[in-house]
Amino acid sequence: MSLGAESAGISVKYAVEKDPYAARTYQVNHPNTCVINSDIREFTTIPSDLADGVTVLFGGAPCQGFSTSNRRTSNRDNIDNWLYKEFIRVLRLWKPDWVVFENVIGIIEMESGAFFSEILVEFEKAGYTCSCSVLDASDFGVPQKRKRVFLLGAKSGERVDFQMHGKFPLVTVKDALLDLPKLENGANTDVMPYDQAATSNYARAMRGKLIKCSGHLVSRNADYVIERYKYIKQGDNWESIPNDLMGNYTDVTRCHTGVYHRLLENDVSVVIGNYRKNMLIHPWCDRGLSVREAARLQSFPDKYSFIGSIGFQQQQVGNAVPPLLAKKVFELITKGA
């Protein structure tokens, strides 16, 4: 979200991030932002230099409990589902001009919408007029079908029209990945040159003036997993794998459609979530996605680097709001300011 905010003309002065690896990644890529590596519940004092100009508080409460693929914790008993109250606590403490709150669409489906209604009431009690919408990243030049809820609150009482002008051309998986290096299962050379000249406007925008980039790390899958990949055509999933190769599953029919999904090169990607756990498959190679490939599908520019082991890097990419989508949301504020 910060990358999108900065692209829309917002200067991000402070960021609060509990995870140490995500905090280090943030600091490396946002050197002019003060990163507070702490739990939001320990953030109790608003810095004195946050009173100048038009001010914006933005972020998203932990979303795992609201995910449609994680019904086990989608209830009031999950303590993390209440961390949005910390967001509102900071909002009341600071009272910025604007607030931007993002989450997965499961948050509006939880308890038939009653939970999200409570959140709206809390924002309004804090003094903000709210506008909200479900936006799909693929509608804004991101090569991924990823729906997210955005809530914009204005202290001025203004309502926001989410009908953004201009139609973005569809950016496909092939547009996003074709120029990146050819990699093998378990590839672990972080920085590499590009495989070829950029073959799409999207790839050119992601590359900028770089001649090489980082993130060419791929999880090493066992041989029996790679053998399964060979049976899956683009757009297909685990259902294409012969039953005799799925013997380690107690009940293979319980696999959801996103498991062992091979990406379609001429369409947008499915959601880039925990792509290692889901065994998301490269469109042309019998392997999982590299960190950089997943970052491309999220619309991170190639200059953006990720810190930590491959597992931590994968989690950071998968948890992120696509920067190009975030930019369009923040432009609803900056273009009217």
CATH number at residue 128: 3.40.50.150
CA 103: distance to chain centroid? 10
Give the phi and the psi of residue 26 in degrees, each rounded to 5: -60, -45
* Contact present, 92 and 321 (Cβ < 8 Å): no
**Residue 77 reports pLDDT greater than 70:** no
* 313 closest CA partner among 102, 26, 17: 26
**Residue 201 reports pLDDT greater than 60:** yes
Query: For residue 52, what pLDDT is reported?
Result: 77
Query: For residue 79, what pLDDT is reported?
Result: 57
| Dist. CA 213–CA 18, nearest whole Å | 27
Residue 190 counted as domain residue: no
**Residue 31 reports pLDDT greater than 70:** yes
Query: For residue 164, what pLDDT is reported?
Result: 72
Query: For residue 325, what pLDDT is reported?
Result: 96
The secondary structure element, H or E, covering residue 6 is helix 2-7
The secondary structure element, H or E, covering residue 327 is helix 323-334
**Residue 23 reports pLDDT greater than 90:** yes
pLDDT (average), residues 314-325: 96
- Of 141-155, 177-191, 256-270, least confident by mean pLDDT is 256-270
Active site residues: 63
Residue 193 counted as domain residue: no
Residue 10 counted as domain residue: yes
Residue 224's Cβ-count burial label (10 Å; 0-12, 13-18, 19+) is exposed
Per-residue pLDDT band at 326 (split at 50, 70, 90): very high
Query: For residue 337, what pLDDT is reported?
Result: 54
% of the chain at pLDDT higher than 90: 73
Query: For residue 196, what pLDDT is reported?
Result: 94
Residue 97 counted as domain residue: yes
The total number of structural domains in the chain stands at 1
- Of 71-85, 130-144, 201-215, 224-238, least confident by mean pLDDT is 71-85
CB atoms within 10 A of CB 37: 16
pLDDT (average), residues 73-101: 81
**Residue 200 reports pLDDT greater than 70:** yes
CB atoms within 10 A of CB 208: 10
**Residue 76 reports pLDDT greater than 70:** no
Query: For residue 64, what pLDDT is reported?
Result: 54
Residue 158 counted as domain residue: yes
Q: What is the pLDDT of residues 217-236, one digit of tens each?
A: 999 999 999 999 999 999 99
User: Considering the chain, what is the average pLDDT of its residues?
Assistant: 90
Q: And the tokens for 167?
A: 């139609």
Per-residue pLDDT band at 106 (split at 50, 70, 90): confident
pTM: 0.92
Query: For residue 274, what pLDDT is reported?
Result: 84
Residue 247 counted as domain residue: no
Query: For residue 163, what pLDDT is reported?
Result: 82
Query: For residue 141, what pLDDT is reported?
Result: 96
| Dist. CA 180–CA 188, nearest whole Å | 15
Q: Give the type of residue at 189.
A: T
Q: What DSSP assignment string belongs to 259-306?
A: TTPBPPTTS-B---SSTTTTT-B-SSSSSB--HHHHHHHHT--TT---
* Contact present, 286 and 185 (Cβ < 8 Å): yes
% of the chain at pLDDT higher than 70: 93
Q: Give the type of residue at 11.
A: S
Query: For residue 210, what pLDDT is reported?
Result: 97
* Contact present, 154 and 98 (Cβ < 8 Å): yes
In terms of pLDDT, which residue wins out, 337 or 5?
Answer: 5
Which domain, by its residues, includes 56? 2-163+320-334
pLDDT (average), residues 315-323: 95
**Residue 73 reports pLDDT greater than 60:** no
* Contact present, 275 and 288 (Cβ < 8 Å): yes
Q: What is the pLDDT of residues 272-309, one digit of tens each?
A: 988 888 889 999 999 999 999 999 999 999 999 999 99
**Residue 252 reports pLDDT greater than 90:** no
Query: For residue 255, what pLDDT is reported?
Result: 74
Contacts of residue 325, Cβ cutoff 8 Å, sequence gap at least 6: 4, 135, 137, 140, 142, 146, 148, 299
Residue 16 counted as domain residue: yes
Residue 62 counted as domain residue: yes
